[in-house]
Amino acid sequence: MESLIGYFHTRQYLPFKRMQEMFNTVFNIPISEGGIHYLLNKLVTKAEPAYNLIKQEIANSKSPIGSDETGSKSIRRQKLGVDMAK
């Protein structure tokens, strides 16, 4: 349930009130907004060590990789011979 709440919160951007309604109507699990907040914080606590490890690995990397993918579409188009201007 924690994972599902985390997914709905971070990926689907569902507010606590809508999550509460969904758990009640779809899953038949009555839960308060406070209960959702508690479970989300519990998930954050569990995920924090992995998050910090990844953060440290990136900081210690000798060849950091940028997250900008702006040019990747252009490169793919060039390789495929696709002209998007036409």
70 falls within a domain: no
- Nearest 5°: the CA angle 44, 64, 45 is 10
What whole-number distance in Å separates Cα of residue 52 and Cα of residue 78?
A: 38
Please give the pLDDT value at position 64: 60
Q: Tens digit of pLDDT per residue, the chain (86 long)?
A: 999 999 999 999 999 999 999 999 999 999 999 999 999 999 999 999 999 999 998 888 776 666 666 666 666 666 666 555 54
31 falls within a domain: yes
Q: Are 31 and 23 in contact (CB under 8 A)?
A: yes
84 falls within a domain: no
Domain of 32 in residue numbering reads as 2-61
67 falls within a domain: no
23 falls within a domain: yes
What whole-number distance in Å separates Cα of residue 63 and Cα of residue 19?
A: 41
Which residue bears the tokens 């440290």? 56
Please give the pLDDT value at position 36: 98
28 falls within a domain: yes
76 falls within a domain: no
Question: What is the count of structural domains for the chain?
Answer: 1
What whole-number distance in Å separates Cα of residue 1 and Cα of residue 18?
A: 15
69 falls within a domain: no
Please give the pLDDT value at position 59: 84
